[in-house]
């Protein structure tokens, strides 16, 4: 008859050991440590700032570490009107962010150009960067941004990680 140690099972550590898939573990780390790159371009940025304050407390989702460096961020929150003058700067900062990276288009302006159907305004930031979640509203409330963040967490949780890793020679 086999003892417990022979079959690799020890009831004393039961409850201290979690068995999971590596994909799921990596995604769990990622989705709970999304560090925003705040791309505040107009009035929506005020709501973005509010979401970081105590009343709404974006820290509950592990996303309070707002970085102003693309190299330390993994989710760009485009909050405001994207003019053509700023568009290339937004694209450049997005390109400088390391993979994996995601984008939230916050508000009507970032999503579609909003009420600015004008020669000076990009009609949606998805014309220059891929957007994962769009937030409706002018301006959207901080709760709407938090909802978008939770939706993004849901997307991140389902991403294949291991199958997309590139082999380094």
State yes or no: residue 139 binds ligand SF4 (CB under 6 A): yes
Structure tokens at 122: 């990009």
User: What's the closest the beta carbon of residue 33 comes to ligand SF4, in angstroms?
Assistant: 27
> Pick from 101, 104, 109, 103: which is nearest to 145 by CA?
104
CA separation, residue 20 to residues 23, 25, 106 (Å): 8, 7, 34
Dihedral of CA atoms 83, 112, 144, 61 in degrees, nearest 10, equals -60
Site for ligand SF4 in 16-45 (CB under 6 A): 42-44
Nearest approach in angstroms of CB 165 to ligand SF4 is 37
Q: Does 109 engage in binding with ligand SF4 (CB under 6 A)? A: yes
- The smaller minimum CB distance to ligand SF4, of residues 66 and 125, is found at 125
79 vs 156 by CB, closer to ligand SF4:
79
Per-residue CA distances from 121 to 59, 78, 145 (Å): 32, 14, 22
Token reading at 102: 């995601």
142 binds ligand SF4 (CB under 6 A): no
Residue 113 interacts with ligand SF4 (CB under 6 A): yes or no: no
Least distance CB 95 / ligand SF4 (angstroms): 23
Number of residues in contact with ligand SF4, rule: CB under 6 A? 11
Please state the closest distance from residue 54 (CB atom) to ligand SF4, in A: 22
Do 63 and 149 touch, CB atoms closer than 8 A? yes
Q: Does 77 bind ligand SF4 (CB under 6 A)?
A: no
- The structure tokens listed for 104 are 């939230």
Q: Which of 81, 83, 112, 153 binds ligand SF4 (CB under 6 A)?
A: 81
DSSP 55: T
Q: Is 114 in the site for ligand SF4 (CB under 6 A)?
A: yes
Tokens 């960067």 belong to residue = 129
Q: How many CB atoms lie within 10 A of CB 52?
A: 19
Which residues make up the interface to ligand SF4 (CB under 6 A)? 42-44, 80-81, 107-109, 114, 138-139
């Amino acid at each position: 008859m086999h003892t417990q140690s022979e079959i690799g099972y020890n009831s004393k550590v039961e409850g201290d050991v979690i068995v999971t898939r590596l994909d799921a573990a990596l995604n769990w780390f990622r989705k709970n440590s999304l560090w925003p790159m705040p791309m505040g371009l107009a009035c929506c940025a005020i709501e973005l700032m509010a979401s970081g304050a105590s009343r709404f407390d974006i820290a509950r989702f592990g996303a309070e570490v707002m970085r102003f460096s693309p190299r330390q961020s993994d989710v760009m929150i485009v909050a405001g009107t994207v003019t053509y003058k700023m568009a290339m700067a937004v694209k450049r900062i997005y390109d400088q962010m390391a993979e994996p990276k995601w984008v939230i288009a916050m508000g009507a302006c970032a999503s579609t150009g909003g009420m600015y159907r004008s020669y000076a305004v990009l009609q949606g930031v998805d014309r220059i960067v891929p957007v994962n979640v769009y937030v409706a509203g002018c301006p959207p409330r901080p709760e709407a941004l938090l909802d978008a963040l939770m939706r993004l967490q849901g997307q991140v949780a389902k991403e294949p990680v291991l199958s997309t890793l590139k082999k380094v020679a």
